[in-house]
Amino acid sequence: MSAQFKDYYAALGVARGASAAEIKKAFRTLARKYHPDTAADTAGAEDKFKEVNEAHEVLSDPEKRKKYDRLGSRWQEGDDFGPPPGAGAAGGQGPPQGQEFHFGGTGFSDFFEQYFSGGSRYGFSQDWEEAARAEAGEAGRARRGHDIEGDILVTLEEAMHGTLRPISLQSVNRETGHSQTHSFQVRIPPGATNGRRIRVPGQGEPGRHGGTAGDLYLRVRHAAHPDFTTRENDVLHELDVAPWEAVLGAEVVVPTLDGSIKLRIPAGTESGQTLRVRGRGLPKGKTGERGDFLVAIRVVLPTCLSDAERALWEQLRGLSSFKPRS
């Protein structure tokens, strides 16, 4: 049961050999273009937004990208593409033999779920297979089912305020063909940071010989936002300022996830400097405490100068005693 192949390079509009920087740049541009808040044409924007996020998820991760490139070349050659043996929700390194898992409602496509979702089990798939064999050797003994892991795409707004997401998990027994679908709602708490795991009890692999079922862990993946990125509970924003704003100082209106704020740029702020606004980041648990809002300053230069402007700059050059290279 193979999912349809997705061309992630085409989704981002980059060449197959694109550098990490090129991928990141393409992603930021397209995320802004299709984000629900900023998309000009909302009709196909939501699907495009998901596609762009998913492509970035795979291509920005060196391990996933390597795997994807290998998959891609095999697909071209028309290889017979069943899921790799032992494949499960954990992207090929999940529970061994017999069970196949398909997620719904996570924000990722079937293709992603089949090959890239979840963390690699303990980082080393060979060890996992060995452990499974060792445990299988204890025939007849009640064995707890394995945990499975999947990714869930969460917008920053959802991360900020929390949300209830409907998720479905279909497990297919490859030997009997019997399939079972469990649907449930997962509460994403306010302040769910990128990479945080949410445990859904008893929704993992069923136990053997009367053992209890394992758990499902959903790993939160923050969706792209045109204006913000996150780092733990801090929210990061890149702000471009004019040279005079940096030199003389200024008050600038800056967007945050919960409303705009007026930010004081102190006189003499250098490019690359970060200004910290305390307590305007993502919530930290139930205490009411929040992470910070970090503004990375980038001084950008006017390039189209009128004659009058040029004259002023030249005057400044003549007057100034500033020596950047001494």
Partner 1 sequence: MPVFVCDSEATYSVDILAELSGVSSDTILEYHEHGLIRPVAAAALEPLYDDEAIRRLRRLDSLRKIGGMNLAGLGLVARLLDEVEQLRAERRGQP
Rounded to a whole number of angstroms, the CA Rg of the chain reads: 25
Cα–Cα distance measured from residue 83 to residue 1, given in angstroms and rounded to the nearest whole number: 7
What SS3 class is residue 220?
strand
Query: Contact between 61 and partner 1 (CB under 8 A)?
Result: yes
Query: Contact between 38 and partner 1 (CB under 8 A)?
Result: no
Residue with tokens 């596609």: 51
Phi, psi of 127 (to 5 degrees): -65, -35
Closer by beta carbon to partner 1, 62 or else 288:
62
Query: Contact between 15 and partner 1 (CB under 8 A)?
Result: no
From 102, 93, 167, select the one nearest 131 (Cα to Cα): 93
- Stretch touching partner 1 by CB under 8 A, among 72-80, 107-115, 124-132, 172-180: 124-132
From 164, 167, 154, 159, select the one nearest 105 (Cα to Cα): 167
- Stretch touching partner 1 by CB under 8 A, among 55-63, 77-85, 93-101, 255-263: 55-63
Spatial strand order in the sheet of 197-200: 148-154, 216-222, 197-200
List the x/- string, 300-319, binding to partner 1 by CB under 8 A. Answer: --------------------
Please report how close the Cβ of residue 32 comes to partner 1 at its closest, in angstroms. Answer: 17
Cα–Cα distance measured from residue 184 to residue 181, given in angstroms and rounded to the nearest whole number: 10
Query: Contact between 251 and partner 1 (CB under 8 A)?
Result: no
The single residue among 83, 189, 243, 255 that binds partner 1, judged by CB under 8 A, is: 189
Please report how close the Cβ of residue 231 comes to partner 1 at its closest, in angstroms. Answer: 6
Query: Contact between 31 and partner 1 (CB under 8 A)?
Result: no
Query: Contact between 288 and partner 1 (CB under 8 A)?
Result: no
One-character DSSP codes across 80-103? --PPPTT--TTTTSSS-SSEEEEE
Please report how close the Cβ of residue 87 comes to partner 1 at its closest, in angstroms. Answer: 19
Please report how close the Cβ of residue 183 comes to partner 1 at its closest, in angstroms. Answer: 5
Cα–Cα distance measured from residue 42 to residue 47, given in angstroms and rounded to the nearest whole number: 10
Cα–Cα distance measured from residue 61 to residue 57, given in angstroms and rounded to the nearest whole number: 7
Query: Contact between 279 and partner 1 (CB under 8 A)?
Result: no
Cβ(156)–Cβ(234) below 8 Å: no
User: According to CB under 8 A, which residues from 192 to 231 bind partner 1?
Assistant: 192, 194-195, 197-201, 203, 215, 217, 231
Q: In this structure, which amino acid lies at residue 237?
A: H
Query: Contact between 141 and partner 1 (CB under 8 A)?
Result: no
How many residues sit in the footprint of partner 1 (CB under 8 A)? 41
Task: Name the residues that contact partner 1, by CB under 8 A.
Answer: 20, 24, 60-63, 119, 122-123, 127, 130-131, 134-135, 144, 147, 164, 181-189, 192, 194-195, 197-201, 203, 215, 217, 231-232, 285-286
